[in-house]
Structure 1
Amino acid sequence: MIGISEIEATAERIAGHVVRTPTLPSPGLSALLGAPVTVKLELLQRTGSFKARGATAKLLSLSEEERAAGVVAVSGGNHGIAMAVMAAALDVKATVVMPRSAPARAVEIARESGASLRLTDDMAGAFALMTRLQEEGLTLVHPFDDPVVIAGQGTVGLEFAADAGELTDVLVSIGGGGLISGVAAALRERRPDVRIWGVETEGAEAMSRALAAGGPVPVALSSLVSTLSAPSVSRLTYEHVSTLVDDVLVVPDREAVRGTLDLADHAKVWAEPAAGCLLPAARRVLERVGEGARIGLVVCGGNATTGDVMSWAARFGLR
């Protein structure tokens, strides 16, 4: 399990490379949900998502031999962007593997940053190619199955705990579980009374399936939210979530896209559905916990184009 001392040390290490993102009350979301809402705006992070934190932490931890070999990363979008941009900034050669379903903007940014880009038919194929490239000698920077990466993501929770006012419930999106593992580790130390809720989308339910099965299991992926689409969680993230998180909620893709539109309308931020899914989940949390709740949302990323969101909204008949 990742400890608070590891997260604090990582925060010092990456401080000159990443942004301390704003933590703000959101009057618009508070009115929409009928309870006080505070947002941690990781979509304003360097590379457009929290992923820059873990990627930077791992890159800075590499030996000279590991750096010289070059790094490989697999991603549904945001980890790939973070690896490409941060590796270029730190003068490390990167190979990024993504499924063809990854957002076009993510592919474009990774390519423009100078990474060697490899596309596969699906996410399972992307993970398989990542493993093969690692076996051929590249240094793996896993998107979530790495304690250094999790400690990097945990700096989100460290900042949220320090900067937010009173909170009763914090919601965090889950793909492979690296973000919520780190955030939960920090919050359990700094805000032990806060309830922590994970959120997945239907068709990208790797963590909730793992919790039901008693450990990581492979899942079939069908969600349009590629940035949450891990073919399974890891034993490391499963152990963190099963120990530290109160529950994991699953919402339909349609509601995640509606949440993206609501974030634009009411919070005035342009997020991706991986963050939009937090709003329908927050409504369910409020139904469960009753009056007096004060909600915290980790708005994890904003790497979706206007065209992406309008296309998804049209698919679901949303206006």
Structure 2
Amino acid sequence: MTTARTLIDLAAIEEAARRIAGHLVRTPTAPSPGLTGLLGVPVTVKLELLQRTGSFKSRGATAKLLSLTEAEGAAGVVAVSGGNHGIAVAEMAGVLGIAAAVCMPESASSSTVAACRATGADVRLTPDVAGAFALAGELRAAGRTMVHPFDDPIVAAAQGTVGLELAEDAGELTDVLVSVGGGGLVSGVAAALQARRPGVRVWGVETEGAEAMSAALAAGAPTPVALSSIVTSLSAPSVSALTLDHVRALVEEVLVVSDAEAVRGSLDLAAHAKVWAEPAAGCLLPAARRVVDRVGPEARLGLVVCGGNTGVRDLLGFAERFGVAF
């Protein structure tokens, strides 16, 4: 049974906010008339795609890097990522003068690999995510500090600063939707909202073929999953006990949508919200329709638009692959 002692508290999130202040952007929280018209209920967006490095991941990466001792910083860090976490660690480590190695599966987009290498990071490609974690383990054993994408209370608390800002800046909300990969963002956001707006429901969203949290909830423990989703930034091979505890305790439900729906959602965000978001954020729109169907017209939605690191060619290529009109 999950207890409050295992969960990130408001004090940890507020400490993370103080730690990263001055390094990152307080991203806009704004009503979206276009999405309100599309979904038929008031919609507020938290635009984390406008964050430094193009996603919320810079929050956790920066907090972790700033927590290192002088000796740890001198030894360097290692990260595993299919996308945004790697970019965040690579850039913020470069800014802080810390050597970074980023282990990435070969399925990572060429633009993501190029973005990491442009910072001066040592990018290591492996056949799959499991291989990336194995290589990172070797580098950690050799002395580098792991900057884990989600299985770290410092990282999760820093992701929770998204929820802290949303709670402070948004109008009335009944339901907030958050994308789920390994679960660090949804854990932190749910913890912040539970403390600041305890009546608000938080919903997680995964894509088919990247269902690590759904599998863990069904199994009662983190469990490895086979990955097939095109949404590599949500493709964690498993969640952690830390993030599973938070979702069990604080999240209403984890909804699963198809890759095609996520791509359609990205195109709808461009057309109606006027923002260029990756499918990891596009998945929120089909899930939002389900939430509105359940909650009814009194719903007041908040969407955490987590990132925008997808190129035009990639997104239009996905749309053609799935037969999504644009």
TM-score, normalised to structure 2, is 0.97
1:313 aligned residue: 319
- Matched residue type, 2:312: T
Match of 1:156 among 162, 180, 202: 162
Match of 1:252 among 245, 258, 267: 258
Listed one character per residue, the Cα deviations across residues 140-189 of structure 1 (whole Å, up to 9, x for unaligned) are 10000000000110000000000000000000000000000000000000
- Matched residue type, 1:153: Q
Shift of 1:269: 0.2
Listed one character per residue, the Cα deviations across residues 239-278 of structure 1 (whole Å, up to 9, x for unaligned) are 0111110100000000000000000000000000000000
Find out whether 1:129 has 2:127 as its counterpart.
Answer: no
Match of 1:236 among 230, 238, 242: 242
Partners of 2:8 and 2:146 lie apart in 1 by 20
2:33 aligned residue: 27
Partners of 2:65 and 2:304 lie apart in 1 by 24
Match of 1:204 among 200, 210, 213: 210
Asked if 1 retains the 8 angstrom alpha-carbon contact of 2:105 and 2:125, the reply is yes
- Matched residue type, 2:39: L
Partners of 1:130 and 1:211 lie apart in 2 by 27
- Matched residue type, 2:123: L
**SS at 1:286 equivalent:** helix
1:285 aligned residue: 291
1:4 aligned residue: 10
Partners of 1:79 and 1:36 lie apart in 2 by 31
Match of 2:99 among 93, 112, 121: 93
Shift of 1:136: 1.7
TM-score, normalised to structure 1, is 0.99
Partners of 1:164 and 1:88 lie apart in 2 by 33
Partners of 1:172 and 1:131 lie apart in 2 by 29
1:64 aligned residue: 70
Match of 1:15 among 18, 21, 43: 21
1:77 aligned residue: 83
Partners of 2:8 and 2:266 lie apart in 1 by 31
**SS at 2:260 equivalent:** helix
Partners of 1:132 and 1:242 lie apart in 2 by 32
Which stretches of structure 1, 4 residues or more, deviate above 3 A after TM superposition? none
Find out whether 1:304 has 2:310 as its counterpart.
Answer: yes
Match of 2:267 among 261, 268, 276: 261
Asked if 1 retains the 8 angstrom alpha-carbon contact of 2:205 and 2:255, the reply is yes
- Matched residue type, 1:204: A
Listed one character per residue, the Cα deviations across residues 59-93 of structure 1 (whole Å, up to 9, x for unaligned) are 00000111011000000100000000000000000
1:195 aligned residue: 201
- Matched residue type, 1:214: G
1:52 aligned residue: 58
Partners of 2:154 and 2:205 lie apart in 1 by 23
Listed one character per residue, the Cα deviations across residues 32-72 of structure 1 (whole Å, up to 9, x for unaligned) are 00110000000000000000000000000000111011000
Shift of 1:291: 2.1
Shift of 1:24: 0.3
Count of aligned positions: 319
Find out whether 1:218 has 2:224 as its counterpart.
Answer: yes
Asked if 1 retains the 8 angstrom alpha-carbon contact of 2:40 and 2:297, the reply is no
Asked if 1 retains the 8 angstrom alpha-carbon contact of 2:173 and 2:301, the reply is yes
**SS at 1:167 equivalent:** coil
Matches within 5 A, 1:104-183: 104-183=110-189
Partners of 1:221 and 1:100 lie apart in 2 by 13
Partners of 2:137 and 2:181 lie apart in 1 by 19
2:4 aligned residue: none
Shift of 1:214: 0.6
Partners of 2:294 and 2:111 lie apart in 1 by 37
User: Where do 5+ consecutive residues of structure 1 fail to align?
Assistant: none
User: Where do 5+ consecutive residues of structure 2 fail to align?
Assistant: 1-6
- Matched residue type, 2:201: R
Partners of 1:125 and 1:200 lie apart in 2 by 23
